[in-house]
Structure 1
């Protein structure tokens, strides 16, 4: 549907022709005036998208409501994946407290001799799963508390904005990219664990989303700057490589999700995901070859 535009460049509300507005629904991207704005976790939504998202249907003749990434609005809990990820991290943390060998079996390590297992372990020895499992491991209460707080604050709005599948792809790819960069730089025998890479990916994605929606970037830039400062100050005990890898990967994936032309959006989205995955695999293969 083509929207009318006023001489000053502002669009007219699609429900109230003649009422100028500079705000668009974060789901269907149609212009909406203050009377039509419904506050959401990210931006504002129009009444039809709110009804469609809550399972009450949408107006006849109107395209099914979609989120800013072009995906159909999932019914039910809009933060379901975020809650599942937090629950999974907590479950693994509790399991690690009662199983002394679990963390050693799943932590990210490049190549090292484990005296307890009496064998060589690590990604370079074929244990590639450590790149993913390490992103769900935590040893200290403060560590998991800090990461889960970041996941809750950043993840919920992003999941609502991108949809469950795209949001999960963002989270997993950010975590993998952070692990891969850690493997490249900190390997062969320095262990690393934690969801920080994935959480930093959510920070990068939030920055991209804020820019796409033309929000004030200062809050998210301040958040990123604070976390970068913490990373630098405590670099001896924090895997800064995971933070950097996750931040860059998250920004790239998010840009592909919301930055491409509407007509080519699927190509941009999965192309960005493929780019990050290929880079992750490429770094891992090259580092493994160097250690072999």
Structure 2
């Protein structure tokens, strides 16, 4: 609520917002996505993700600052590139290429690489599954899909959510988020689902991107309602439809929230250590879940 000029401020009033670094008389809740200094609406310059201050824009375009100025970075500390969606395009291409292989080579190819705990699969002479030493299934299942509808929906989600997130994080951090979130979804599915229940799809990784996007939007003080509404709709489908591995969705979402928080809130002086350290912690959780389930099945 706005406060009338001259009205007293009690000890319970909320603390005031920071002021724009160029206009100290103007309070603002927006910060530059590169240098993180507070900026008012007059100083905000629209960028691929969020806003930048005039100084960072000039530095980034190379129009008149010292030659030793620091390299422009994304909000999470990644390198700004000429094509901020390149990795998203590559991931979509890989998923489509693998789906084409599924259509060409048939069920035997899918059966070899989809996520499976431990079961007898027709056409194979031995038991198949992660518990049989086929740990690669935790990763390869992330690039398989069960139908045209499945891959179209996932790839559209990857394009809409992944592109802006890649621009905000940078390629290396974005790839780490995608892969580790997907593995978290695979590991939770392996841990909880029936040992003979097959699972496949990029949904675990994409739910990780959903979680990280929500954290990023909160960090930038964006309106959270659109992403929360989209997430709720996806969760309704997750639990309301049959033949959906909800474990992969929840595992990916939790992994994405944890990693996303580290990506956008890590202190600048130890940014990479914290970001990749948290990715490592989530990977340890993936290994622990995998070992526990394997011990139960062998």
Q: Given the alignment of the two structures, is residue 122 of structure 1 paired with residue 129 of structure 2, yes or no?
A: yes
Change (3 A) 1:48 1:138: farther
Other-structure match for 1:229: 236
**Post-superposition offset of 1:207:** 1.0
Other-structure match for 2:214: 207
1:71-110 aligned at under 5 Å gives the runs 71-73=78-80, 75-100=81-106, 101-110=108-117
**Post-superposition offset of 1:19:** 5.6
8 Å contact kept, 1:108–1:192: yes
Name which of 277, 281, 284 aligns with 2:283.
277
Equivalent residues, number: 282
8 Å contact kept, 1:58–1:65: no
1:23-172 aligned at under 5 Å gives the runs 23-50=30-57, 56=62, 59-60=65-66, 62-73=69-80, 75-100=81-106, 101-172=108-179
TM-score computed with the length of structure 2 as normaliser: 0.88
TM-score computed with the length of structure 1 as normaliser: 0.90
Of structures 1 and 2, the larger Rg is shown by 2
Q: Given the alignment of the two structures, is residue 11 of structure 1 paired with residue 19 of structure 2, yes or no?
A: yes
Q: Distance in 2 between matches of 1:216 and 1:34?
A: 16
Q: Distance in 2 between matches of 1:142 and 1:115?
A: 26
8 Å contact kept, 2:17–2:27: no
Change (3 A) 1:193 1:35: same
Q: Distance in 1 between matches of 2:188 and 2:205?
A: 13
Q: Given the alignment of the two structures, is residue 252 of structure 1 paired with residue 282 of structure 2, yes or no?
A: no
**Post-superposition offset of 1:111:** 0.5
Q: Distance in 1 between matches of 2:59 and 2:44?
A: 15
Change (3 A) 1:173 1:53: farther
Other-structure match for 2:205: 198
**Post-superposition offset of 1:10:** 2.9
Q: Give per-residue Cα distances to partners, 1:73-94, cap 9 Å, x unaligned.
A: 2x32011110000010011011
Q: Distance in 1 between matches of 2:60 and 2:191?
A: 43
Other-structure match for 1:4: none
1:201 aligns to what SS in structure 2? Answer: helix
2:127 aligns to what SS in structure 1? Answer: strand
Runs (4+) of structure 1 exceeding 6 A deviation are none
**Post-superposition offset of 1:58:** 6.9
Superposed CA RMSD = 2.0
1:134 aligns to what SS in structure 2? Answer: helix
8 Å contact kept, 1:38–1:47: yes
Unaligned residue ranges in structure 1 (runs of 5+)? 1-6
Other-structure match for 1:286: 292
Unaligned residue ranges in structure 2 (runs of 5+)? 1-14
